[in-house]
Amino acid sequence: MKPSFLNRFVGATAAIFVMVTLAAQPGVAAKEPIKIGWTAWSDAEAVTKLAKKVIETRLDQPVELVLADIGIQYQGVAKGDLDAMMMSWLPVTHASYMEKVGDKIVPLGILYTNARLGWVVPDYVPEDQVRTIEDLKKEDVKKKLGGKIQGIDPGAGLMQASEKTIGAYGLDGYQLVSASGAAMTAALKRAIDRKEWIVVTGWSPHWKFAQWKLRYLEDPKGTLGGLERVHVMARQNFYQDHPKVAEFFARMYLPLDELQAIMFEASKSSYEKAVDDYIAANKERIDYWVTGEIPNS
């Protein structure tokens, strides 16, 4: 027999009463999510989605990922609108941002080292014709490249460095094309499919180096910087508010080859699947990030 309207009403009222009562109890109310900024770069997407999954499943702390240009992330963390960001390239690439807000943000840890920026060409571009950035000044090289350097989002430190590089090397007539990271790799793929010459703004780690044979152009003037460390930055008082998450960030470190493997798998499937597979295959490392306990050798 179907329940009467009165029975359904009483049941629904009881359910609401239980939910309100539980929400009023200390420790039962839903936690506010911490807000982590990220940029649509492959390495940023990999590390932020990995951190989000571990923080939510192991530390029982909701996480909201906030997509924003890198400059806006620094401002957001400095103002307290964002709790953290995981893509602070130092000491060179983001030096200008640190000069502005470095005294208002707190470094929590280094995610990975030996990162680098540069200009990248497919390996089929003859090295005896194009080995260094200086070689781009040759008229025949400029013609084959269409006078373009394919870039990424305009707020990126790599784009700022690339603008300086064009001036430092006297690359008159070259246009630095702004686009997203995904648009950059799409342009690279089109050129490779057609065996056309192309120069793109690149960085390591990135899955494109696993996908295609590429090389960095030499940068004798050093305008694109050297090796970099990638840091997690947090707002002031983040440790006091979220000590376990702050300690997790302080211990989270990825070997470059493993991060690049996550990114390469994600390019073929999804970042969510690549993250899940990495967590399943690296239980001891994840346990250390979460607890700080060193596994028995």
On whether residue 48 sits in a domain, the answer given is: yes
Average pLDDT over residues 256-261: 91
Q: How far apart are CA 233 and CA 83, in angstroms?
A: 9
Over 90: is that where the pLDDT of 185 sits? yes
pLDDT, the chain, mean = 90
> Could you say which DSSP state residue 135 is in?
G
| Cβ contact 36:48 at 8 Å | yes
**What is the separation, in whole angstroms, between the first and last Cα of the chain?**
64
Whether 124 and 94 share a structural domain: no
pLDDT computed for residue 232 by the predictor: 98
64 - beta bridge partners?
Answer: 35
Question: Do 108 and 255 lie in a common domain?
Answer: yes
Q: What is the pLDDT of residue 2?
A: 41
120 and 97 inside one domain:
no
The reply to whether 101 and 179 lie within a common domain is: no
Q: In the predicted model, is pLDDT for residue 112 greater than 90?
A: yes
d(CA 240, CA 234): 11
Domain boundary among 157, 188, 216: 216
What percentage of the chain reaches a pLDDT higher than 90? Answer: 79
Tell how strand 148-150 and strand 105-122 pair up: unpaired
More confident residue, 196 or 180: 196
pLDDT surpassing 60 at residue 79: yes
Q: Is the pLDDT of residue 18 over 80?
A: no
Instruction: Identify the pLDDT of residue 297.
Output: 56
- What CATH number has the domain bearing residue 101? 3.40.190.10
Mean pLDDT, residues 59-80: 97
Residue from 136, 141, 77 nearest 104 by CA: 77
For the cut 70, the answer to whether the pLDDT of residue 173 exceeds it is yes
The model carries a pTM of 0.78
Domain assignment of residue 168, given as a range: 116-216
Contact 169, 133 (CB under 8 A): yes
> Can you state the angle between helices 256-268 and 42-58, rounded to 10 degrees?
100
Confidence of residue 93 (pLDDT cuts 50, 70, 90): confident
Q: How far apart are CA 69 and CA 122, in angstroms?
A: 28
pLDDT average, residue stretch 67-82: 96
Say how many domains are in the chain.
2
Question: Is residue 121 included in any domain, yes or no?
Answer: yes
Residue 285 has pLDDT above 90, yes or no: yes
